[in-house]
Structure 1
């Protein structure tokens, strides 16, 4: 179990760079996600070809994995839109609401009773985000987009938790990236009609960033998450990912000097979120110790 938590925190560290790439890449949020899913699929295709894992090629299995791929792709579109309409700090902090949505949605979808502890910890996270949102109303659009993004991320994690128990993680992610890429390309003309882009093809710098984003922050990240979901609940995974803003905010301060846009209310809210993560870690450890006795 200790190794699983180490892998989870490595995944969180990789996730911390995701928002930074969203700021560095000049393409709009939709095109960015199109290329991210495309490059990620190609990397995963090579990995699957080399490893040759055993997996079902039935249309039912592919469709099941593809639906989750659509959710994660839409999550990315709204996530990057949140960053581009506000900043990296606001965009990644909105992601913390994923644990709040999971605490309510997971019991409903899985037809299980609500966990009071999870609900209380999620409420604490919500309070922290409330403090953060108080600091500047000019980021209202980015905040709304970020809330939608976290809702979609919650649904993805819940459904992905089922998939990892039946299929190999790299295969899951390969089909998810393929399905997401196809769906986004089909809808691309509609999106560009309402949100015209100056350029569709990425430049050299953007291509390098997209390749790094796909290889480390997508393939590496989501394979690690899929592996951890085999032993850790979706709620615990989502709550641990509340640490992602810390890494992203520190990087944004160094690279984009975003500290000028943040005030005491922002940091107070971030502290509340950290407390919720620490409490969850302590509760999870206590449960494991009681189980071992």
Structure 2
């Protein structure tokens, strides 16, 4: 098979697996901290094994990199906890749509990292995202769980945007598997004092679900990302990654019988459209910058 076609198929499988992580917020009868902790333990073990077997080594290049890994791990811990919390408060559909405000959030905060100018198109994207979120929010009151889930989801998106920007600037010289291995390693001690007694008393079915989440739906797709990028453009990767909400919502409808409202679907379409636009626009800007340099 053509390497590009093979990588594209692998990328879609990767994005489907990442989209599938949302289902575990409903399938696993534990709180978001317990789920994140167990997910990180299993992911960490497998990712370090992948890094070791690939000859990447386990050590980082400098003391500064260990400090950066620590900071990224803290952000990742809170991001994952709020990711699952948003879906447990609302639904898979609402939570994943709220998370995918992160491409627009990234564009809005990126000038503080890149020293570039915010364009009117970026403001327009933000307005479209706000319109999409307004459709999803059923009530302005924080006593409404769906509203609270949207807010928590957007906060999770902000953390994800921050993590991605910091990673790109300070940690991108490491492979995806090694970088994620160190970040999940930091997540474990960060959350260990906050896990509940329920995690120790889980049944075998819950244990298998946690193992699947940490390995097949976390470690494996993150390890696969580096492989797919060998034959695909970054633009292709980013655009396919924007399909994650589609896969998550589709899986939720089929596997756990979740039925999103038309407001959620229309709002999600607006949010994802803005995400796709910003993805394409960012790629164009990067290409122009390369040509000028």
Question: In the alignment, what sits opposite 1:64?
Answer: 68
Cα deviation for residue 85 of structure 1 reads: 1.4
Are 2:31 and 1:28 aligned? yes
Q: TM-score, normalised by structure 1?
A: 0.81
CA deviation vs aligned residue, 1:190-232 (integer Å, no higher than 9, x gap):
x75xxxx545343211121112111232213334556759964
1:73 aligns with 2:74: no
In 2, distance between residues paired with 1:76 and 1:281? 23
RMSD in angstroms over aligned alpha carbons? 3.3
Superposed, 1:6-155 pairs within 5 Å as 9-54=12-57, 56-134=60-138, 138-155=145-162
Pair 1:159–1:78, CA change in 2 (3 A): same
Match of 2:262 in 1: 264
Structure 1 SS opposite 2:243: helix
Unpaired segments ≥5 residues, structure 1: none
Distance 1:47 1:36 in 2: 16
- Describe the shift of the 1:158–1:225 C-alpha distance in structure 2 as closer, same or farther (beyond 3 A): farther
State the Cα distance separating 1:269 from its structure 2 match.
1.5
Please point out which of 162, 170, 174 is paired with 1:167. 174
Structure 1 contact 163–172 (Cα < 8 Å) conserved? no
Give the Cα separation in 2 of the matches to 1:27 and 1:134. 26
User: What secondary structure does 1:52 align onto?
Assistant: coil
Q: Larger deviation: 114-123 or 167-176?
A: 114-123
1:286 is displaced (CA, Å) by 6.8
Q: Is the 8 A contact 2:36 2:81 kept in 1?
A: yes
**Correspondence for 1:217:** 217
Q: Is the 8 A contact 2:138 2:146 kept in 1?
A: no
- The alignment's TM-score, normalised by the length of structure 2, stands at 0.81
Inter-partner Cα distance in structure 1 for 2:189 and 2:286: 42
Question: 2: distance between equivalents of 1:119 and 1:183?
Answer: 36
